[in-house]
Amino acid sequence: MVSGKYGALSGAVSREQAMSNIAANLANVNTTGFKKNRISFQAILRGEQQNTNAKGINYARIRAIETDFSQGAMQQTDRPLDVAIDGEGFFKIRKGNDIMYTRAGHFMIDEDGMIKTSDGYNVISQANQPLQLLEGGGSDIIINEAGGISVDGVDTGVGLQIFTVADPQQLKQVGNSRFQLEQGGGDLPAADSRIIQGSLETSNVNMMEEMAHMISIQRKFEAHLKVLDRYSTLGERQDELGSVG
């Protein structure tokens, strides 16, 4: 009977991990382009295995931590190099040999006319090359919904490209709003998405929803701790109970 404490312990550990995930989501509620992570639980052993291998103990664990790629709200900034994606897909960015994907469209232009992220990644163009605007600094930059860019009313012949991936779950989160595609994955130009100039996509974290999850997880965590406490009490009294009669 005392062995059941391990089932309660595994449940408590799983809920503690879930609390850490919720805390990370809440910490990024104001991070541009951030995508929240969701956790699902499962019993480690099921059916006959649970009765034989686990002696009836319901060991629990985190089944998966998956990223929710649903779109966040649009925040208007009116800044020419702030762009948001309406629909599926990502901007492709590159630094050295590292290729990443992001929906955080807060871009800037350097002295060479290269369009970059705030942390120095080059933005990849429709030609699948780093995006460069010649004579673009300080000029009137217009980006249309298809990504085409004009400067002072003149078409530059280059533009932003939205990329999609066949399986978004192949994207590994490597930063607050950056993702890297697993080896073997590929991308292609998005067909139905559009670019909104002068806006940024906010985090898709719903603070009230996360707080509700946190309260629920906290209660379950406390319930597991109470079970552990009861088992400890039973263990302390086991000799005494065994000697009755």
Give tens-digit pLDDT for 81-129.
999 999 999 999 999 989 999 999 999 999 899 999 999 999 999 999 9
- Judged by DSSP in three states, 41 sits in strand
Candidate from 17-26, 40-49, 208-217 with smallest mean pLDDT: 40-49
Residues 232, 8 contacting (CB under 8 angstroms): no
Q: What pLDDT was estimated at residue 209?
A: 93
Cα separation of the two ends of the chain: 20
Q: What pLDDT was estimated at residue 53?
A: 47
Token pair recorded at residue 145: 């919904």
- Helix, strand, coil share of the chain (percent; to 5): 30, 35, 40
Residues 198, 80 contacting (CB under 8 angstroms): yes
Per the document, the length of the chain is: 245
Residue 44 has pLDDT above 70, yes or no: no
What CA–CA distance (Å, rounded) separates 100 from 92? 6
Q: What pLDDT was estimated at residue 12?
A: 75
Q: What pLDDT was estimated at residue 49?
A: 47
* Element holding 232 (H helix, E strand): helix 207-236
In percent, how much of the chain has pLDDT > 90? 56
Q: What pLDDT was estimated at residue 206?
A: 95
